Each structure stands twice: as C-alpha cells, then as structure tokens.
A and B are shown apart, each in its own frame.
Chain A
Amino acid sequence: MSLNKGDEYEMLEIRGLSYQARDRKILSQIEMHIKKKEFVGIIGPNGSGKSTLLKNIYKVLKPQQGEIFLMGDNLTSMSNREMAQNLSVLIQEQEASFDFTVEEVVMMGRHARKKMMESEDKNDKKLVEEILKKVGLLSIRSQSFLTLSGGEKQRVLIARAFVQDTPCLILDEPTNHLDIKYQLELMNLVSDQNKTVIAAIHDLNIAALYCSYIYVLKDGQITAHGLPHEVLTEETIFRVYGVRAKLYTDETGQKHILFQAGQK
C-alpha cells in the first residue's frame, strides 16, 4: 500500500504540524525528518508537547495544521489498520481491568495483519513465542496480565509492539515508572530490533546512550535538533530546562550528564 519504499525516502516526515487544545497552543510549526533505522529521541521539559507530538503521529490526535507522512504516505488518509501495519506504539495507558493472559495480550499485536474472522495461524503463534522468549516472558505466558508488576506489564506491551512487526516503533515515555534496570533492559531490547525508533525520553543520560538523533522541544516548538553531542550541551540544557549541568566522559568514552542541585 505504500507508494514509496525506496531507501531515499524518509521513514517519517512532519511538515508544519500545529496542534491546539481549546485555546492553548501545544505544538506550533513542527518540522521533522526521520530517516530509516534511526533512533530518534524527543526531549524537553514537562508540558513541552512531547506526548502530544507523538499522539499526532499515532493518530490518537488529529493535526489541525500541517502534514505527516509515514513512509511517503499521508497519515491522515491512512486507516488505523494501515498505520498499525507500519507503526507500532508503546504507550503508558494501562487501564485494562479485564483478565487477559500475557499471551493473549501479545497476540493482539497481530490484529492489523489479520482479517476480522481469521484466527491466528501457526506462524503467528511461532512469532509470539519467539518474542516472548526474547523479552523473557515465556515462563509467565499464561499468567493474567492484571497480576503483573509495572515492569512486567511494560515488557508485555513491548512484546505486543514487536509482534506487530512494523518498521517503525514509537515509545511514548517508555521508561516512566520503571527502575533503572528495567529502563536499560527496555532500551536495549528496542535498540536491538533494527527498527526506526521515535521515543519521548525524560532521562537525558538514557537519551545520550541510545539516540542517534535528538529533537529538543520547548513550549511546543523545536528549539534544537542534531546529533546527541551537538544537542546535549551545558548551554542547551540550561536554556531548555533551566538546570545547570556538567558533561563528563568516562574512561570508556561514555558520556554522562551530571546535574547540580538547588540553583538556578
């Protein structure tokens, strides 16, 4: 269904996107060009519009201005089903109050690939099993989703996104509520997938570790973008977050951002 799948085309292109809720402007004139296989981080303070931006991309919100192209096709004219074949999303929403097993939840990822009455075949089951194994959930596959811990639930949902088998993956603040071990585990899992990843990230050190490109949002506008070392500077961090930071490179060459407490 996609017209342009050649390498010269971008995975995702956003042109002049603006969004406002009631009379409050949340996003204005967003421009983004995301190439295939990139790991793109979107950073910015609370309320800067990160989540709103991502929700516009995964069709939960409708852009009031501007256009979004997913692999060359206009997203507004795409059905949810077509979108779900190219784009999977890990979201925060965990409002389920119904009793599904881990395996049932993960199998839902195949929904967009199936006709309505078509039931899951051997290949689907094999894929689900493979991915459950990869994320380390095979042993609890028939346990109820409701009884899991926050970290386990998040892993189930990432497994569901993997099962969707899409070239592009969106993470909407994926590491919220996760302890550091799970955060790193999740980011490792995602970056091993060889997908285009677009992630809203709170933790700047995590962003520095995993992203190949970073967009900085402030008050609904992109105020900086570039490679991590270009964007994550002491000046930009102070300008965007109002916090003084020190950059430090350890003996392995890994970058660390240290924050100073209690000052402006």
Chain B
Amino acid sequence: MTIKNHSVRCSIILCILLIISIVLAVGTGPVTIDFISVWKIVLHNISKYVGLEHLISIEDIKSSTQNIVWFLRVPRVLLGGLVGAGLTLSGICMQAFTKNPLAEPYVLGISSGASLGAVLAMLAGVWLPWGGRLTVSAGAFAGALVSMLFVYTLARTGNTVTPIRLILVGVAVSSLFSALTNYIVYTAPNDAAVREATFWMLGGLGSAEWEDLLLLGIFIIPAFLCMMYLSKALNALLMGEHSAITLGVNVNVVRRILIIVSALLTASAVAVSGCIGFIGLVVPHIVRSIVGADHKKLIPLSVLTGALFMIWVDVGARMLHPPTEIPVGILTAFIGAPLFLWMIKVRHYEFK
C-alpha cells in the first residue's frame, strides 16, 4: 500500500539505486577495481567533453585499468541497463496489447527473426571481407523487423489485429524462422561462425561498445514517453476491447502504436545483445504485484527495475565462472523460468 501511494518517491529511490549499481557493477569483474578509481575514471572521461579533464587526474591509475573501465565495463553496464529497460518496456507493450500478463516481448516472432538475420549476417560476414560485427547487429535488427511485419500482416483481418490471432501467427512464424536458422547453422561450412552464432543467440552483453548505446537510446526514450502518454488508454484497454471503446479509446490506433513500439524496442535490444528472455515477462509482473496495474506507476517503476535487474544479472554472468563468461540469457532463464511457473501456479492466470 505504501509503495503504491508513493510511486514518485519510489522512482527516485530506484534512480539512486541504479546509479549506485552502475558504479558498483563497473567495479566488479574478473579484475576488481575499487570504487574511487571507477568514479575518477568516469568523471575524468565525462569532463573531457567540457574541457575540464585537468580537474580530475587519473595519472596514478594504470592505463589498462582505465581502458577496462571506460571501453569495456562502462558501456557494458550501461548497455545492460538499457537492454533491461527496453525489454521490460516492450514486455509491457505486449501485455497491454494481448491483455495478458504472461505475454513477452518475443510474441511477434521477433527473436527467431532476429536470430535468422544475425546468423545470415554472421555467415555472410565470413564470406564477405567487409562483413563484421556491425553486420550482425544490422542483420538481427532487419530480421526482427521482417518477422514482425510478417506476423502483423498475416494476423491482420481487415483493419484490426486481435491478440489471439497475433499470438498464433507469432508461434507459427517463429517455428518457420527457427527451422530456417537451424538449417543454415547445420549446413554451414564454418564451425567458428556457427559457434559464434549459437553464443549470440543465447544472449550476452560481452560485446558492448559505445555505439550500441546509441541504437538503443534512440528508441527507448521516445518509446518511454509514448507509453507514458498512452498510459490511461492502456489501462482502459486492459479492461477489454469493448470497454475501452466505450470509454473513448481509439483501440485500433493504440494497438498499432503498441506493436510498432514493441517491435522497435525488441529489435534494437536483440540487435545489440542477442535474445535475452524472461526479463520483459518477469519484471513487469513483479512490479505489478506491488503497485497494481496502473500504467502511470507501472511503466516508470518497471523500466527502472528492469535496468537494475539486468545490470546485476550481468554481473552474475561475469562472476560465476571467471574468467569464463556465461551467456546472460541462460541466467535470466534460470531466474525467470521458475518465477514464471510460480506465477502460473500461484496467481492462476489464464489465456483468454
């Protein structure tokens, strides 16, 4: 009850926690870096942009440490936060669209489309000398959008897309694209590329670079504002399509916006980090069980929680078997799947 009535205060607390977590997570890894050095390096690099770098000296810190912090850890942690936030927001979109708290960002067949695109790009990258990492991201992004368009077009009858058709078409298209991906991987001539493709599909933040942040940031901020703008319409939509119409919501337009927002968010998240599951499902659910279903509270709190969750799971991925990294998608599934089962068992949700 108290959390419910103080969502603004909670958002501020989560923001503070997020900042602290970012600094702590940057310091954690196979090479431990102390708190003060992390702050110094981060502030030094930021102050470069305003020409004040002389105020914070980092000459006493080894340049390898500087590089680890600024070129590996910081982008990785920030990317983790953005991916967590993006997948959570995308999950909320799909849950509102399907009126089902158990829907996830990959309902539109996006993960399989992205995998297909990425694998094609990866194998093509071997054959083409100018291919590279960027091609994989671009391939995944393109694949995700193609699958989403495919699902949307097939699920559409006249001017409307009903949730149940979307889910069914999504399942079918997913299987088709997965089959294609598996076929390509199975017949691929290059073992190394296949291993890379498999690892990529499991999801991970290890390849984070500063440019990746841009791709996700471009989508997340407008998507967040758009969802906040629609929050009351989304509430009405959860009461049922007919209810929403009689309350004055233009259901078709809102649904179309939800699909577009969700598709762009998921596609960009998948493009930079592979298919990380369960975040978009579990995080909104937990937040909902605390603050209720009102989107005005749910969206900001979930987005912050999603970012926090992802950052710490990624720390786990780095620290569980150092120096080997575990794909973060495996860990989110380890945590998310039991929670998901518990949700079905205890909360008695049904598919309607």
Instruction: Enumerate chain A interface residues (CB-CB to B < 8 A).
Output: 55, 58-60, 79-85, 87-89, 91, 93-101, 104-105, 108-109, 111-112, 114, 116-117, 119, 142, 144, 160, 164
Contact = CB atoms under 8 A, between A and B. Distances in A.
Contacts of B101: 97-98
Nearest to B246: A89
Contacts of A58: 242, 245-246
Contacts of B228: 117
B99 interface: yes
B99 A95 contact: yes
Q: Number of contact residues on B: which range applies?
A: 20 to 34
B344 to A, nearest CB: 12
Given A93-B240, A97-B101, A111-B232, A80 B292 contact: no
Given A88-B246, A89-B242, 12 more contacts: A55-B242, A59-B245, A59-B246, A81-B249, A84-B248, A100-B235, A100-B294, A105-B239, A111-B236, A114-B232, A116-B230, A116-B232
A85 B239 contact: no
A97 B99 contact: yes
B349 A116 contact: no
A96 B248 contact: no
A108 B250 contact: no
Nearest to A104: B294
8 contacts: A58-B245, A88-B246, A91-B243, A97-B349, A99-B288, A100-B294, A108-B236, A112-B248
A117 B226 CA distance: 10
Interface in B244-297: 245-251, 288-289, 292-294, 296
Contact of B229 (A95, A98, A117): A117
Contacts of A91: 240, 242-243, 246
Contacts of B251: 80
| 10 interchain residue pairs of minimum CB distance | A84-B248, A112-B248, A98-B293, A89-B246, A81-B248, A93-B240, A98-B238, A95-B240, A111-B247, A93-B242
B100 interface: yes
Given A95-B99, A97-B101, A80 B293 contact: no
A105 to B, nearest CB: 7
Nearest to B247: A111
A105 B242 CA distance: 15
Interface string B317-352: 000000000000000000000000000000001101
Contacts of B293: 98-100, 104
A82 B1 CA distance: 35
B83 interface: no
A237 to B, nearest CB: 31
Given A98-B101, A98-B288, A84 B247 contact: yes
Contacts of B229: 116-117
A89 B244 CA distance: 11
Nearest to A109: B247
A81 B253 CA distance: 13
Contacts of B99: 95, 97-98
B41 interface: no
Nearest to A87: B246
A88 B239 CA distance: 15
B233 interface: yes
Contacts of B232: 108, 111, 114, 116
A80 B249 CA distance: 6
Given A111-B232, A116-B230, A116-B233, A96 B238 contact: yes
Contacts of A89: 242, 246
Contact of A80 (B235, B245, B294, B296): B245
Most buried by A among B241, B250, B294, B350: B294
A219 B292 CA distance: 45
Q: Which one of B101, B293, B294 has the highest number of Cβ atoms from chain A below 10 Å of its Cβ?
A: B293
A102 B280 CA distance: 27
A147 to B, nearest CB: 12
A111 B236 CA distance: 8
A109 B235 CA distance: 11
A104 B235 contact: yes
A93 to B, nearest CB: 4
